[in-house]
Structure 1
Amino acid sequence: MGAGHTHALYLDRGGRVHRLAPEVKIVAVLLFTIVVVVTPPAEFPAFAGYLVLLAGVAAVARVPALWLLKRATIELPFVLLAVALPVFGHGERIDWLGLSLSVEGLHGAWNILAKGTLGVLASLLLAATTTMRDLILGLDRLRVPAVFTQIATFMLRYIDVLADDARRMRIARLSRGYDPRFLWQVKAFAVGVGSLFLRSYERGERVYLAMVSRGYTGRLPHAESRKPATREWALAATLPLISLGIAVLA
């Protein structure tokens, strides 16, 4: 896998968080997310504490707040769902600004909004401080089944190739004067998708045969890498431990 394959969410700031081993960051974010999920929705101070904690991690990692907020808009569909819950929910209702809102729906909306936002921000911080290659390597070191890490590795390696194939096919279609914009014009688009699938399948077979002929046994070789030091685990553990302390105190 080429070293140049990075992703748009990674910010190369070279800070202490960036230098941590990927597996310790993955475990820290996973444990933090578990703490957030099991926190009762009514514990409002706890959620405020989690947000302050993530802000501190972002400051240490030198990840701009505006950068995080822009990319956190990925959760907008869930926000719309949360907004609809108080209106269409059942059970006890209260009146607010002329609207009849469900109390159960309000709790559900807050639960989705608070926990979803914290989860998205934690994931963005992980992506901003860890390259995609290192994320896959970290999952491999954590003994995630090889089939998942191998699929992710090949997807990362060939996603640019597939995107380039799709771009060339679109240019070829436009050069022939066919630009489907309506439902009854999608035949060319459907044919293009089928052709791209066949090309990808055939390329995958050729690559697999080439790898087998070179000794591939189901696991890609990795260069020897250092094991994370105890202080790295201790440093990464501060995120879930502090969040657990916030939950207990709240």
Structure 2
Amino acid sequence: MGAGHGHRLHFHGHSPVHRAPAHLKLVALLGFMLVVVATPSDWYAAYAVEALLLLGVVALSRVPVTYLAPRMVIEVPFAVFALLMPFLAHGPRTEVLGLTVSEPGLHAGLALLVKGTIGVLASLTLASTTEPQEVLRGLQRLRMPDLIVQIMGFMIRYLDVVTAELGRMMVAMRSRGCDPRSPRQWPTLARAMGALFIRSYERGERVHLAMLSRGYDGRLPAQDAA
């Protein structure tokens, strides 16, 4: 997929986790998450073992907790939903800290919170110890269809391009007195997002035509793993 392309989630290091082959890390992550998801909601001892195992891998990777913690904010919507489940679910009621909550909802909410936290932390550990191009090569070694790997590669490559273009659009809007955070400006923001989508789609068309003009036949040239 071309030259190496760093990513803001990657933490440069030389730990054993960094040096491990990407395809093995992908298989390990998939297997680990299947076990976590399959864990019954009231098996708290199993959750503790899984969490300790994951924390051991994080410690082995030498990725600072201060680096991972801010990036776990992506879990906030799931955490809010998990905290609401004991109050919204039906079934037998129980009292926790002076509040009457649904017992099945309490177990389900705790399970969702724990599984979500473990999943996000495990994914961030993989992302912080593996370059995006290594992940793509790992997927190729695992025999994932080339077309899907190519799509993922272009997504990684152009994500920063689209993000930078969005940033310029936000600056232009603010320079014209438009605050994108204001609900009154949401219609304007929606039109801007539509324009960004059209630009991204047209960019994809141009890239595809450029590839075809250079002999693209559904496969990209092999690249040096160095």
Question: TM exceeds 0.5?
Answer: yes
Judging changes above 3 Å, is the alpha-carbon distance between structure 1 residues 183 and 21 closer, same or farther for their aligned structure 2 residues? same
Judging changes above 3 Å, is the alpha-carbon distance between structure 1 residues 112 and 222 closer, same or farther for their aligned structure 2 residues? same
Shift of 1:170: 3.9
Equivalences for 1:18-57 in 2 at 5 Å?
A: 18-57=18-57
Contact 1:47 1:114 in 2 (8 A): yes
Unaligned runs of 5+ in 1: 227-250
| 2:5 matched residue in structure 1 | 5
Name the amino acid aligned to 2:12: D
Shift of 1:199: 2.8
Contact 2:37 2:115 in 1 (8 A): yes
Contact 1:92 1:102 in 2 (8 A): yes
Contact 1:180 1:186 in 2 (8 A): no
Judging changes above 3 Å, is the alpha-carbon distance between structure 1 residues 19 and 174 closer, same or farther for their aligned structure 2 residues? same
Name the amino acid aligned to 1:205: E
Name the amino acid aligned to 2:129: T
Judging changes above 3 Å, is the alpha-carbon distance between structure 1 residues 105 and 4 closer, same or farther for their aligned structure 2 residues? same
Judging changes above 3 Å, is the alpha-carbon distance between structure 1 residues 73 and 170 closer, same or farther for their aligned structure 2 residues? closer
| 2:178 matched residue in structure 1 | 179
Rounded to whole Å, the distance in 1 between the matches of 2:67 and 2:161 is 28
Shift of 1:159: 2.2
| 1:233 matched residue in structure 2 | none
Q: How many residues align?
A: 225
Contact 2:4 2:133 in 1 (8 A): no
User: Per-residue CA shift, 1:186-231, capped at 9, x if unaligned?
Assistant: 56544433433333233222221221121111122222559xxxxx
Secondary structure at 1:10 match in 2: coil
Unaligned runs of 5+ in 2: none
| 1:196 matched residue in structure 2 | 196
Q: CA RMSD in A?
A: 2.3
| 2:206 matched residue in structure 1 | 206
User: Per-residue CA shift, 1:35-54, capped at 9, x if unaligned?
Assistant: 11112222222111111111
| 2:70 matched residue in structure 1 | 70
Q: Percent identity?
A: 47
Rounded to whole Å, the distance in 2 between the matches of 1:142 and 1:52 is 28
Secondary structure at 2:158 match in 1: helix
Rounded to whole Å, the distance in 2 between the matches of 1:190 and 1:102 is 39
Q: Which has the higher contact order (CA 8 A, sep 6+)?
A: 1
Equivalences for 1:73-222 in 2 at 5 Å?
A: 73-175=73-175, 177-180=176-179, 182-183=182-183, 185-186=185-186, 188-222=188-222
Rounded to whole Å, the distance in 1 between the matches of 2:171 and 2:71 is 30
| 1:60 matched residue in structure 2 | 60
Secondary structure at 2:94 match in 1: strand
